[in-house]
Amino acid sequence: SPEWKRSAAAAAAAAAAVWPEVERAESLARGAALKWASGVFCRPEHLERLGQYRKRESQRTSSVHARLKSMVQSYLEGVGWGLQQLREARLELRDASHALKKTLEGLREVSVGHRQLLAAVSNLPRLYSVRGMVLETERLVESRRLLEAHARLMDLERWRGDVLRQLPGGAEGSALSAGDRELVAGYFSGVGRLVDALGKELWAVVSGALASARQNPTPFVSAVRIVEREEALDRAALEERGGPTDPGGPPPGRPRRWRARFFQVLEEAVSSRLRSVSYLHARGPGLAGHLAALQHGVMADLATVRHLLEHCVPPHYRLTGAYLRAGHRWLQAHLLQVSGWDLESGEIFAVLNWVLHIYNGPDMMGDPELVAEMQDLELGPLVSAGGLEQLQNKYVQSVRKSVSQWMHKALQVELQDWQRDQEPDTDHEGFYHTSLPTIITQMLEENARVARMIGEHLRDQTIRMGLHEMENLLNRFREALVEFGKEHRRDPSNKNKFYLHYLLASISNCIILKNSTERLQKQQSSCSAGAFSRTPPNPLAALDRAVRRACRLAMDQLLLDLQPFLPGLLTRSWLVRGDPTPKLCHVLERHVEMHGRVRPPCRQRLQEEAQWLTVVEYVRALMQKRLVCRSAEERGQLARQMVQDDARFREVLHGLEGEGSVPEVNPLFLLPVLADFIRLKDPSMLTLEVSGLAAKYPDISEEHVSVLLDIRGDVSRDIRGAVLDLLEQSAPPPPAGYRPIFTDILVPPSTMAFCLPTAKCV
């Protein structure tokens, strides 16, 4: 029926979920049933017996189910009986265990005591000999038989380890009791003292190895062997008993890490040896010697390490690198301390030279055999970039102070030389000079040369500083020249007869300083321009100001010497006798001759200024109207005398034209032009003459032309007005580079009290 099929399917599915084999068995059963049914009901008439077959199979199934229930019930009863038996057995075992434990506890106590007695009996010979062993090891340590002492020490430590392992809990790795540990530690207390004593002697040997290894390296070799033994013992102790899971912990005193202590002692020894090298005389003038002693000490110890001690240690020690590292660290700290001292320029130079060149040079760390080692260590510079910059700045400031003092002294000496009652010195070319430029030039060039030994950066800083100080000196020098001139004019009764000589020597000095300044400027690196200060020095401008001041004073002196003779120019007596032109030429010739003692190009400049001064004063005298012509004959005589004076002036100043420095408008050309103006016979041609005069000298004014017309004495009012009107209307602008000459010549005011309204005022 469908209900039976659904229930069977549900039961089969539930059984399949619990037992996977049920599904396969059901499949086989269905197959067998189908086969049987196909054989039994192969014909339609056989279906009549279907009810019989169903009843028979139902009875068979019920019988099978009954047998299965009986079998399962029997199995469950057996399992229950077995569980009951197990419970009873467990209770019986628990009672037996308690009874056996009481018995075994006594046996265990007896066994432990027996084992302790056995350990004590077996270790009695060693325990009795511990004290003697300790004393013997102490004697070996005192006599520095370090290897033997260390062997005895290892025996003692081995005995102590055996004793600890034989104590309860020692062999199983469990924690020993505090009492057992204290007992063993107290009995073997001499071992700890031996370790300390041996270590003390060992580090004394290592510390003194740099000094004593050349005589006897054996103690150092023994010390290294002991250190390596200790490292092996440390590793073994950590592997066997010192692991993180070992509750007993490492053996007493382990790990000792004597290899690390070895390098620490070596570094302390290096520091101590370097500290003792002339350290008491390091400050002051002895700093250079101290640095040289450091160099000698470092290289001597380094040779000992490389050629002797390096062969006494295993390769992985890299003893040379360890020494280099220790020495470098100490030198870094020492030089940092030295840099903080109040050093003079020479001391700073010694430090910079030692740091930048000697230490890194071929005589020290720049040795080809050490370069690779130094690169591998990556120790960095002895002094940082910032420290070097500070040292260089301190050096420049110290040199600046010294240069400023020397320049001040040199200027004081120069001022004293100006007061001497003798002519200045001359060089092999006959030019005046004093000691000032030589002192300044040598000082600045020597400072630049010394700074160049450190580096171009410091040289550029030093040169720039020197140029600043030279500019300051030249400003003071110019002020001194001004005061020198004032003092000379202030006391005419006590004049210095060599005043002009020293003015000319000062000009020559400026030329020498200009040449040295240009040489210094050329030495600077192109990239250093403006690198050290916002306002670059300009000593050349200061030189030019000083030269112009000295030239002005020289011209003032020339004018002062000419002054007594100037009132006699262009007067009636001058027109008749020619005086005082020869005297003027004599003064001018003497000055021009002295100008020849000045170095070019200032010699040409002085002669040009003398030429301008002479012409200006001559024309100024003409503008005074001391001589007004009364006739054509006097005009011709005046013109001839002016031309004659011009020839005399040209003869005195003939050297200027040969120097190639003739100005664009030679003032001497003015005198013949003025002579032609006065000589002109036809007054009606004065308009054309004035036009040409204004074209050559555009700074000539109406007042100047009016005076010239007055000097002629034959110009009518109409012609005067026409000439002045033409000059006013056609005044040309001055050309580029034109040096005015009439601007410096003032015309005295007219003596006319009034002007007629029909004519122009003169």
pLDDT digits (tens, 9 = 90+) for 384-396: 999 999 999 999 9
Residue 509, Cβ neighbours under 10 Å: how many? 28
Side chain identity, residue 561: D
Which part of the chain is CATH 1.10.357.50? 390-554
Residue 706, Cβ neighbours under 10 Å: how many? 20
CB 450 within 8 A of CB 349: yes
* pLDDT of 8 strictly over 60: no
Q: Is 158 in a helix, a strand, or coil?
A: helix
Residue 695, Cβ neighbours under 10 Å: how many? 10
Of the chain, the end-to-end C-alpha distance in Å amounts to 164
At 612 the pLDDT is 92
- The dihedral formed by the CA atoms of 138, 143, 144 and 145, expressed in degrees to the nearest 10: -80
Residue-averaged pLDDT of the chain: 83
C-alpha 73/C-alpha 78 separation (Å) is 9
Main-chain dihedrals φ then ψ at residue 71, nearest 5 degrees: -65, -45
pLDDT digits (tens, 9 = 90+) for 519-533: 998 988 765 544 445
At 186 the pLDDT is 62
The number of residues in the chain equals 762
Buried b (16+ CB within 10 A) or exposed e, 668-691: bebbeebbebbbbeebeebeebbe
At 109 the pLDDT is 77
pLDDT digits (tens, 9 = 90+) for 682-734: 888 988 888 888 888 888 999 999 999 999 988 889 999 998 888 888 777 88
At 19 the pLDDT is 59
Main-chain dihedrals φ then ψ at residue 681, nearest 5 degrees: -85, -35
| 200 to 144, 197, 204, 728: CA distances (angstroms) | 11, 5, 6, 112
Residue with more model confidence, 481 or 110: 481
pTM of the complete model: 0.71
Residue with more model confidence, 87 or 172: 87
Main-chain dihedrals φ then ψ at residue 245, nearest 5 degrees: -95, 0
Phi-psi region of 204 (alpha: psi -120 to 50; beta: other; left: phi over 0): alpha
C-alpha 614/C-alpha 620 separation (Å) is 10
Residue with more model confidence, 388 or 654: 388
Confidence at 355, pLDDT banded by 50, 70, 90: very high
* pLDDT of 660 strictly over 60: no
Residue 363, Cβ neighbours under 10 Å: how many? 12
Which CATH number, 1.10.10.10, 1.20.1250.20, 1.10.357.50, 3.30.70.100, labels domain 390-554?
1.10.357.50
At 471 the pLDDT is 93
Joined tokens for residue 629? 């012509």
C-alpha 745/C-alpha 623 separation (Å) is 8
Give residues with Cβ within 8 angstroms of 206, minimum separation 6.
Answer: 220, 223, 262, 265, 266, 269
Confidence at 327, pLDDT banded by 50, 70, 90: very high
CB 391 within 8 A of CB 383: yes
Q: What percentage of the chain reaches a pLDDT higher than 70?
A: 84
Q: What percentage of the chain reaches a pLDDT higher than 90?
A: 42
The secondary structure of the chain in percent helix, strand, coil, rounded to multiples of 5, reads 75, 0, 25
Please state which of the ranges 162-166, 336-340, 408-412, 602-606 shows the lowest mean pLDDT.
Answer: 162-166
Joined tokens for residue 518? 């240009």
- Give me the residues paired with residue 433 across strands: 425
At 582 the pLDDT is 92
Joined tokens for residue 575? 């027109």
**What is the average pLDDT across 456-465?**
92
Please state which of the ranges 174-183, 195-204, 375-384, 702-711 shows the lowest mean pLDDT.
Answer: 174-183
At 357 the pLDDT is 92
C-alpha 431/C-alpha 191 separation (Å) is 94
Give residues with Cβ within 8 angstroms of 493, minimum separation 6.
Answer: none
At 187 the pLDDT is 64
HSE toward the beta carbon, residue 490, CA cutoff 13 A? 6
pLDDT digits (tens, 9 = 90+) for 212-255: 888 889 999 999 999 999 999 888 888 875 444 444 566 777 78
Nearest to 399 by CA among 464, 353, 335: 464
pLDDT digits (tens, 9 = 90+) for 597-651: 998 889 888 989 999 999 999 999 999 988 899 899 999 999 999 999 999 999 9
At 58 the pLDDT is 86
At 124 the pLDDT is 61
CA dihedral over 680, 684, 688, 691, signed as positive or negative? positive
C-alpha 270/C-alpha 255 separation (Å) is 26
Phi-psi region of 692 (alpha: psi -120 to 50; beta: other; left: phi over 0): alpha
Confidence at 10, pLDDT banded by 50, 70, 90: low
